[in-house]
Amino acid sequence: MDSSMKISFNRYIRDGDLIIVNERHDTMKAVKVCENLVLQNRVGVFKHSNWIGKPFGSIILSNKGGFVYLLAHTGQQRWIRLPIGSDTELWTLVLSHRTLIFYIADISFVIMYLEVAPGCLVLESGTGNGSLTTSFTRAVAPTGHVYTFDFHEQRAASARDVLLFFTPSTERTGISTLVTVGVRDIQGEGFLN
């Protein structure tokens, strides 16, 4: 196996990393680490500066004695060459559920039924929070493309931000080459030519 494809288990949290904070068995959230910020939840206050330098998987205590787990968002790690990491399933659980969301069992069925594979072109209407879009993008990589449209400008912008978190901007084959997020009323205007 190419050594650049191996996962490094010695990865430490850095300022600017996107991480997944597991607060409880049923509560996770994506957080971008910023040295001057804090995370407040029902179990206390957590300073981001205390996270920096800790290995992923660490248990961090709050000022009240509560704790959270800091998990790696593998799609962002520089040691994975794929445009999208293997954690799209976890990412689906972390995303905000402002719209109807597909969960991984449904997403798997849709991708299989539509025969989405590397090199495919996918047109999606209704980006929502980007959950299905993320999995489509993973399925078409490395040579396909996903065009996704939402009529709601704020949702499209939010999904664009979420999708771009999957790879660092310095990565040559980032997700931005695999997906285009647009604002368009597909029902009224149809897809682009």
By the 8 A CB rule, do 68 and 30 touch? no
Secondary-structure class of domain 18-72 per CATH? alpha beta
In the predicted structure, residue 182 carries a pLDDT above the cut 90: no
- What is the chain's mean pLDDT, rounded? 76
Structure confidence by residue, pLDDT tens digits, 130-158: 778 888 988 998 899 999 888 878 877 77
In the predicted structure, residue 115 carries a pLDDT above the cut 70: yes
- Tell me the DSSP string of 98-126: SS----HHHHHHHHHHTT--TT-EEEEE-
In the predicted structure, residue 87 carries a pLDDT above the cut 80: no
Structure confidence by residue, pLDDT tens digits, 31-76: 888 999 999 988 899 999 999 999 888 899 998 888 888 887 654 4
At residue 164, the pLDDT reads 65
Domain 88-189 has CATH 3.30.70.360: no
Closest Cα partner for 86 from 94, 98, 77, 95? 77
pTM: 0.52
In the predicted structure, residue 173 carries a pLDDT above the cut 80: no
